[in-house]
């Protein structure tokens, strides 16, 4: 039989076991923190009806949706029938959340606090760092009819808790408010929402192209803004705070504005003060009036999070407040606030930047096979260790001890147990620590206690 080359499609991140363990640890940290803040897990199917996913026109090309057809849809010639497929893969977790809440509305308690950590699919062009399959780790709080702006202050507390425990360096949660922004633009005579968006898109190029380029564009034919208006816009989007008080002061310093601006400013102030009450240190968040996050969805607070030492990675956790989650499915008014961590891309970037340590194995201990006749003793020992919650692998197929050590080393297993006739007679066990390249003898009755201490120390040392 001719061999089929074993390969995955481009744009997926498939990991070797030790990398998978490192990735899984990040997932676990995120999940633990989401749960600690009282968010509830949901999972939705990967496949949804196309008409449910694509209620917004133009979505399918923008999102590069994957369509799905079962074998049943193949015609007699083995070809797929023509026409818009009935099914598609989800391209984010927000549309499925909207569908979920609309479908199960009567069975949910509001405010509905959900987390969801699943993969999503986008038919991206194959390109380094672009993923066609990637994890999103989302939280959202959904209100029925209304949702206090206080929930907007809880989100940064969750972000802070997650990234502190992920331990990938100092980070800043940048915050802005869409109403403040809209109101400020209105006060400058830029009234049209689309025009505002185009201006913001230009402003986004500040870092890359510089202030002169952006100023020239905005005062040029395409926009035709006054030099004074342009200067004010550039000043506005460059506002950054250095402390809570500084943030409040800088918001006041913007001067009076139209209703939307005042509302946005009041919201931001309330949120900033409450973040403080949530115990988030002032070094972890900042007012940043350049944050916009697309005009069509977010309506109030918006968030982006960056790593202070790695700004090139961009935002690692973004989101905001929206007016109505599921207007396409239900007449219920469901405002909400949420964020998303794109973990696949984040992991990949961190690894690329050398910020992810090589993981240890999830296997704590390898019980070697020194003497085939003692296999039952090895199995009994392994059973005891497992009973004590210590992940244990037993070498079932003998061979040279040196080869068994090499296997453990390559597999990232730190502790290796050697148990020969002598040791069994003496009631002791030899433990080899492959990390420290050291070994010690311990009484059989003390083994579990000793290993637990060693493993806890190893976990604490990272």
Site membership for its own copies, residue 165 (CB under 8 A): no
Q: How many CB atoms lie within 10 A of CB 436?
A: 11
Regarding 404 and contact with its own copies (CB under 8 A), the answer is no
Min. distance of Cβ 256 from its own copies in angstroms?
Answer: 28
Q: How far is the CB of 17 from its own copies (least distance, A)?
A: 4
Q: Which of 26, 93, 94, 100 binds its own copies (CB under 8 A)?
A: 100
As a whole number of Å, the end-to-end CA separation of the chain is 48
Tell the residue number behind the tokens 């059989």, with chain if given: 444
d(Cα 121, Cα 119) in Å, to the nearest integer? 7
Binding of its own copies at residue 410 (CB under 8 A)? yes
* Least gap, CB of 110 to its own copies (angstroms): 8
Q: Under rule CB under 8 A, which residues in 112-151 are in contact with its own copies?
A: 113-114, 119, 121, 123, 132-133, 143, 146-148, 150-151
| 3-class DSSP assignment, residue 311 | helix
- Please indicate if the annotation marks 422 as binding a ligand: no
Provide the minimum distance between the beta carbon of 182 and its own copies in the complex, in angstroms, as a whole number: 23
- Tell me how far, at minimum, the Cβ of 67 lies from its own copies, in Å: 5
Q: Which of 111, 258, 314, 420 binds its own copies (CB under 8 A)?
A: 111
Nearer to its own copies, 390 or 428 (CB): 390
392 binds its own copies (CB under 8 A): yes
CA distances (Å), 423 to each of 294, 417, 426, 452, in order? 68, 11, 5, 21
**What is the C-alpha separation between 17 and 362, in angstroms, rounded?**
9
- CB of 179 closer than 8 Å to CB of 47: no
68 counts as binding its own copies under rule CB under 8 A: yes
Distance CA(309)–CA(225), nearest Å, equals 36
Tell me how far, at minimum, the Cβ of 180 lies from its own copies, in Å: 21
Sites for its own copies among residues 304-363 (CB under 8 A): 326-331, 361-363
* Of positions 29, 46, 231, 234, contacts its own copies by CB under 8 A: 46
374 binds its own copies (CB under 8 A): no
Closest contact distance (angstroms) between CB of 169 and its own copies is 21
212 versus 357: smaller Cβ distance to its own copies: 357
306/313 Cα distance (integer angstroms): 8
Part in contact with its own copies (CB under 8 A); list of ranges 111-119, 164-172, 286-294, 348-356: 111-119
Selected binder of its own copies within 279, 402, 427, 462 (CB under 8 A): 279
175 phi and psi angles, rounded to 5 deg = -130, 150
Q: How many residues does the chain have?
A: 462
297 is in an annotated binding site: yes
Measured distance CA(346)–CA(160) in Å, rounded: 16
Comparing CA positions, the residue from 462, 403, 409, 449 lying closest to residue 433 is 409
Q: Is 460 in the site for its own copies (CB under 8 A)?
A: no
User: Site for its own copies (CB under 8 A): which residue of 24, 242, 439, 445?
Assistant: 24
Q: What are the φ/ψ torsions at residue 112 (nearest 5 degrees)? A: -90, 115
Each as own residue / partner, the long-range contacts of residues 370-377 (CB below 8 Å, 24 or more positions apart, any chain) are 370/401, 370/418, 370/419, 370/420, 371/420, 371/421, 372/398, 374/419, 374/420, 374/421, 374/424, 377/419, 377/424
Measured from the CB atom, the residue of 83 and 189 that comes closer to its own copies is: 83
Q: Is 265 annotated as a binding residue?
A: no
Shortest reach from residue 203's CB to its own copies, in Å: 30
Task: Count CB neighbours of 25 within 10 A.
Answer: 15
Provide the 8-state DSSP code for 241: -
Nearer to its own copies, 152 or 186 (CB): 152
CB nearer to its own copies: give 74 or 235: 74
Q: Is 251 in the site for its own copies (CB under 8 A)?
A: no
The packing angle between helices 259-277 and 178-187, to 10°, is 150
256 part of the interface to its own copies, by CB under 8 A? no
Q: Considering CB under 8 A, how many residues would be counted as binding its own copies? A: 113
Q: What are phi and psi of 142, to 5 degrees?
A: -115, 125
> Quick check: 14 binds its own copies (CB under 8 A)?
yes
Per the annotation, does 94 bind a ligand?
Answer: yes
Binding-site residue ranges for L-histidine: 92-94, 122, 136, 140, 293, 297-298
Binding region: 92-94, 122, 136, 140, 293, 297-298
């Amino acid at each position: 039989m001719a061999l089929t080359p074993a390969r995955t499609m481009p744009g997926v991140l498939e990991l070797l076991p030790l990398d998978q363990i490192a990735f899984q640890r990040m997932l676990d940290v995120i999940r633990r923190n989401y749960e600690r803040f009282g968010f509830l897990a949901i999972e939705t199917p990967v496949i949804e009806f196309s008409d449910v996913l694509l209620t917004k026109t133009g979505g399918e090309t923008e999102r590069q949706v994957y369509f799905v057809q079962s074998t049943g849809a193949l015609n007699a010639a083995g070809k797929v029938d023509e026409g818009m497929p009935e099914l598609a893969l989800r391209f984010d977790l927000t549309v499925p959340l909207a569908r979920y809440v609309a479908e199960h509305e009567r069975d949910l308690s509001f405010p509905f606090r959900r987390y969801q950590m699943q993969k999503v699919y986008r038919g991206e062009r194959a390109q380094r760092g672009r993923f066609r399959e990637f994890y999103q780790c989302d939280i959202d709080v959904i209100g029925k009819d209304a949702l206090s702006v206080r929930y907007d202050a809880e989100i940064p507390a969750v972000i802070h808790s997650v990234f502190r425990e992920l331990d990938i360096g100092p980070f800043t949660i940048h915050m802005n408010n869409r109403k403040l922004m809209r109101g400020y633009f209105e006060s400058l005579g830029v009234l049209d929402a689309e025009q505002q968006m185009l201006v913001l898109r230009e402003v986004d190029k500040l870092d890359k192209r510089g202030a002169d380029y952006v100023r020239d564009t905005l005062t040029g034919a395409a926009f035709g803004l006054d030099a004074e208006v342009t200067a004010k816009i550039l000043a506005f989007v460059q506002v950054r705070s250095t402390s809570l008080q500084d943030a409040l002061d800088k918001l006041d310093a913007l001067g009076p504005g139209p209703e939307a601006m005042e509302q946005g400013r009041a919201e931001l102030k309330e949120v900033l003060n409450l973040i403080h009450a949530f115990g988030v240190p002032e070094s972890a968040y900042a007012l940043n009036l350049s944050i916009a996050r697309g005009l069509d969805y977010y309506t109030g607070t918006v968030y982006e999070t960056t790593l202070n030492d790695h700004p090139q990675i961009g935002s690692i956790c973004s989101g905001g407040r929206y007016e109505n989650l599921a207007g396409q499915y239900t007449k219920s008014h469901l405002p909400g606030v949420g964020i998303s961590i794109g973990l696949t891309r984040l992991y990949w970037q961190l690894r690329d930047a050398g910020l992810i340590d090589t993981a240890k194995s999830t296997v704590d201990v390898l019980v070697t096979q020194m003497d085939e006749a003692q296999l039952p003793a090895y199995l009994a020992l392994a059973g005891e260790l497992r009973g004590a919650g210590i992940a244990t692998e037993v070498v079932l197929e003998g061979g040279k001890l040196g080869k068994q050590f090499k296997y453990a080393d390559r597999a990232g297993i730190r502790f290796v147990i050697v148990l020969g006739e002598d040791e069994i007679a003496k009631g002791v066990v030899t433990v080899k620590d492959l990390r420290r390249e050291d070994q010690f003898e311990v009484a059989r009755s003390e083994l579990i206690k000793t290993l637990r201490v060693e493993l806890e120390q190893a976990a604490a040392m990272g």
